[in-house]
Structure 1
Amino acid sequence: MNVDIRRPSAPALVLGVTLGLAAACWVAAVRLMHGMDMGVATGPGSFGFFAATWMTMMAAMMLPGAAPAVAGYVRLVGRMRGALPFTGAYLAVWALAGVVAYALDRPHGSPAAGAVVIIAGTYELTPVKRCFRRRCHEVAGSGLRFGLYCAGSSIGLMAMLVALGVMSVLWMSLVAALVSAQKLLPAKTVIDVPLALAIVGLGVVTVVAPSLLPGLTPPPM
């Protein structure tokens, strides 16, 4: 697509298309996940169904926060059509994460889910997390590199999603909001530390009082 990226409308077009795709994937993901949420007892199902649902979810969750990076890459390389391979490589990283999630995710109890959430909250406080998040804010030279940085930054939050209920629209929405905020906003200790402690607290509640959390336990038959 030969569009002069120096035109002011070019970045807006990239942002609009990316966000439009994300919105369409949100609608599709909610439909695919309907009736599939069994809390921590949710099974991954067949690989084909899981893969289709996972990739739709990843496009819905990850593209809003990545849209500025896609526009920045187009501006960097000077070609509008560069957006497609950049976005494809970025989502390929999350496709690989889906293979790992499918291999590990099996019906489990609240104690196991809570342990994963506690580990995810602890990870938010580590230098490794801060390093990946900082690199995720830089203008990346490729979608693959950007995807790896952002996966490293968001791996704890995504593990939390899988542990609490990968087919839950509630947890998906919450994690998507956190992931997008961390992609778009600079790190601030006054926000990030209380958030990490809140995630650890969520993990503790998941272990000791799971009935207090909506959507965690399977619905009655």
Structure 2
Amino acid sequence: MKLEIRRPAAPSMVLGVTLGLAAVCWVAAVRRMQGMDMGVASRPGSFGSFAATWMTMVAAMMLPGAAPALARHVRVVGGLRGAPLFAGAYLTIWALAGVVAYTLDRPHGPAAAGAVVITAGVYELTPVKRYFRRRCHEVPGSGLRFGLYCAGSSIGLMAMMVALGVMSVWWMSLVAVLASAQKLLPAKTAIDVPPALTIVGLGLVSVVAPSLVPGLTPPTT
């Protein structure tokens, strides 16, 4: 009886708990970010405040796409004990990415934001991106390895979000959808190229007509 519960039920339980935690983090992130979105003029503030917001954001954004991988990992190892360690290691990679974002993100102009977005779009078309994207679909050996693969796959999208408005619920939502879709859908040219070209186009618009891009024109007081 113990073995029967352990194998079939554990992956489903982990999937449900992970998605539930992601939903809670979405609510918490939206509440934390109210009034903080200044677009390219956003300031990171204190490291403690930024870290709390960042971790809530990345848990909300990345856990839905990672939930199937976590469930597969639990199915392979045959129990629930590895789930917290896997998830913790996975989120640790994104915590380190947050340290980099905090260090580099400063108030900047539309041209700088556009350059980052264009670079992010070009990265989506590179063999490096395709390699990491494919590895995200394999059965993960550990949360650390899976986190590294997913960070390599989504780093361009996250850089785009930071450049356009790290405290923007709009950009957070868009990047979350793209990142989750890339974790769940197979790597195919018909799926991957159109969003990449759209991101490059968004970067060009950010440079030549920033008023058309949400958050690139700082709010007037």
The answer to whether TM tops 0.5 is yes
Correspondence list, 1:56-205, <5 A: 56-205=56-205
Aligned residue-pair number:
219
CA distance in 2, matches of 1:201, 1:102: 26
1:52 and 2:24 correspond: no
CA distance in 1, matches of 2:147, 2:21: 18
CA distance in 2, matches of 1:107, 1:124: 25
CA distance in 1, matches of 2:169, 2:146: 26
Residue identity matched to 2:154? S
* Percent of residue pairs identical: 79
CA distance in 2, matches of 1:21, 1:186: 25
Q: 1:215 Cα deviation (Å)?
A: 2.7
Residue identity matched to 1:138? E
Q: TM-score, normalised by structure 2?
A: 0.97
1:6 and 2:17 correspond: no
Where structure 1 has 5 or more consecutive residues not aligned to the other structure, the ranges are none
SS at match of 2:43: coil
**What does the per-residue CA deviation read over 1:153-206, in whole Å, with 9 as the maximum and x for residues that have no partner?**
000000000000000000000000000000000012112112111100000000
SS at match of 1:93: helix
Q: 1:5 Cα deviation (Å)?
A: 2.7
Partner of 1:39: 39
**What does the per-residue CA deviation read over 1:42-87, in whole Å, with 9 as the maximum and x for residues that have no partner?**
1111000000000000100000000001111111111212110000
CA distance in 2, matches of 1:134, 1:214: 31
Q: 1:213 Cα deviation (Å)?
A: 1.4
- Structure 1 runs of 4+ aligned residues shifted over 6 Å read none
CA distance in 2, matches of 1:209, 1:48: 35
Q: TM-score, normalised by structure 1?
A: 0.97
Q: 1:37 Cα deviation (Å)?
A: 0.4
Q: 1:214 Cα deviation (Å)?
A: 2.1
Q: 1:6 Cα deviation (Å)?
A: 2.0
Q: 1:217 Cα deviation (Å)?
A: 2.0
Residue identity matched to 1:58? V
**What does the per-residue CA deviation read over 1:139-166, in whole Å, with 9 as the maximum and x for residues that have no partner?**
1110000000000000000000000000
SS at match of 2:6: coil
CA distance in 2, matches of 1:189, 1:40: 32
CA distance in 2, matches of 1:165, 1:60: 17
CA distance in 2, matches of 1:171, 1:29: 13
Residue identity matched to 2:190? V
CA distance in 1, matches of 2:216, 2:136: 31
Residue identity matched to 2:46? S
CA distance in 2, matches of 1:185, 1:156: 18
CA distance in 2, matches of 1:36, 1:51: 14
